Structure 1
């Protein structure tokens, strides 16, 4: 089962784009979870107007990421069971529209607690208004949403000036250099992509710090190591940083393994190591760590054998 988490800060345009996608998509084996803060679910009403409305569950008793008893895991199980009884088919996809105040990293931890191994079938899509001035927007939830995204959809691009679009794109690349940018109304490109892109093969050339929200991007040069030590380092880093750690992603060389391996963690959740499907020539191993208020000595303290040396922190 694929799980698609659609995030985006308040007013970014998530609901509008989900409605447009529903009106065009083939959603026979898809279910939708809508999370709203408040007892009146306006978003669910709007989504219910779509011609191709799917089986939908509204959660309106607080943010999925922080409300006790409001985990999406049991809801997914209920939707899957109801779909099987009604159609005789297995549910293939669940789309979760998170509250604009939800922290993606915490929501992913909630999902992992219920659905071990879910990261292999998960993609995170973040919607952001192209007119947003990210350097002035000090909302930690918005930065968390961006840093955890696989795909970023810049909404309302037709209303943004060229300067606003360039500023938004530059800020996105500083916070999350791995995200795939998709066109304004093409949510299907993210939801229905045949696979989640592992990463672009050019190591990010980051020269500026995303000001205003204490996000630090550290580029680490790893030397050849073994899988156990790599996982231990990522676990130690997650333990040292706690909720401040947003993302780790990059390519490493493992002892006894040919080629490069993709290593990644989102919100402290470590995905299984993935060998690259094709050979990448002339690519040096690298890891990028994205965290709030990250001190360089934290990286070294988690690495007693010094396999991961800091190259740059911006």
Structure 2
């Protein structure tokens, strides 16, 4: 690649827990000789996704090629955060062949694509494609999709009902901006439900977009990279619920971080975390835990009431062994009650 050529950028969007980080890790492990760089935008104060990817030790994307932005949505902080991050990556020697941007699960992708029209960015980068990762099981369960008949009945019965559903709008905006939709976690749904989800997605998008079904983000880099969409030149074909707005914010959601003491007995921990998530309608719980006597830290990730855990890497020499959980929910979640329940839960396992 010559220094005058634009560096392609793939934007990976998708709702909370859809599997974006798992998909990106698989790309890194199967880069096909490409030198990759990552820009990761987390929601919350603890960079779980960035930490997972930095710990991979994958030659195609060394640690210095990973930039994490946790100061808010990058499409809202283009000048302060995004442009400096991109400039730092382009100054690397050797320069990355391809940059992957992982958005927050709450982000609207279109404002980010618009940012690539900035003069300082447009001359050096092009949006190769927007990849939307969808949690097939969550959508099949109706977690992020409204029942249109029920909605119509509510509107007919009570004109004062607020029909605005920010979760639905975020989900639809991610689909509407996509050049490729990855229907992930298909092993968790029946063939009938999978067909229904595909039909719902097709009905949402007014243009032809390829939908690829997979599980555990197992897709080759050749499928995801090299789409050559030039999305920054194609904004009109990517409608959004927020096109009439000057800007947007994420005030529909709250997040906080809970410090967790070292645990001795993690038995049944995931089931109890699921109970807390269900009780308080928590969208996402993720983080790292310290287990006494174990040299590796435990990664915990939950979407709604579905949780999984794995040891992701050893604690480093001199590193503070501190467990932390990030909790994300809709605006108005009872933080004090959730903290109390989580604190009681982890105290039992301490």
| TM bracket (short chain) | 0.5 to 0.7
SS at match of 1:32: strand
Higher helix share: 2
- The within-5 A match list for 1:104-119 is 104-113=109-118, 114-116=120-122
Considering only aligned residues, what root-mean-square deviation do their CA atoms show, in Å?
3.0
- Give me the whole-angstrom Cα distance separating, in 2, the residues matched to 1:33 and 1:146: 21
Alignment match, 1:11:
17
Cα distance change, pair 119–171 in 1 and its aligned pair in 2 (3 A)? farther
The answer on 1:21 being equivalent to 2:51 is: no
Uncovered stretches (5+) of structure 2, i.e. residues with no partner: 1-6, 148-164, 244-350
- Give me the whole-angstrom Cα distance separating, in 1, the residues matched to 2:28 and 2:242: 40
In the alignment of these two chains, the number of paired residues is 206
Alignment match, 1:56:
66
Cα distance per residue 1:224-269 (max 9 Å; x no partner): xxxxxxxxxxxxxxxxxxxxxxx9xxxxxxxxxxxxxxx9732x5x
The answer on 1:155 being equivalent to 2:184 is: yes
The answer on 1:191 being equivalent to 2:160 is: no
Cα distance change, pair 16–121 in 1 and its aligned pair in 2 (3 A)? closer
The answer to whether the 8 A contact 2:18-2:133 is kept is yes
- Give me the whole-angstrom Cα distance separating, in 2, the residues matched to 1:292 and 1:44: 29
Uncovered stretches (5+) of structure 1, i.e. residues with no partner: 199-246, 248-262, 269-287, 295-314
The answer on 1:100 being equivalent to 2:115 is: no
Cα distance per residue 1:36-87 (max 9 Å; x no partner): 0222100011112224161100111111122475542331111110x22xxx
Cα distance change, pair 291–100 in 1 and its aligned pair in 2 (3 A)? closer
- Give me the whole-angstrom Cα distance separating, in 2, the residues matched to 1:27 and 1:106: 31
Cα distance change, pair 43–183 in 1 and its aligned pair in 2 (3 A)? same
The answer to whether the 8 A contact 2:13-2:102 is kept is yes
- Give me the whole-angstrom Cα distance separating, in 1, the residues matched to 2:72 and 2:241: 25
The answer to whether the 8 A contact 1:3-1:121 is kept is yes
Structure 1 residue 118: deviation in Å? 7.0
RCO greater where, 1 or 2, for CA within 8 Å and sep 6 or more? 2
Could you state the TM-score of these two structures normalised by the residue count of structure 1? 0.58
State which structure, 1 or 2, has the greater radius of gyration over its C-alpha atoms: 2
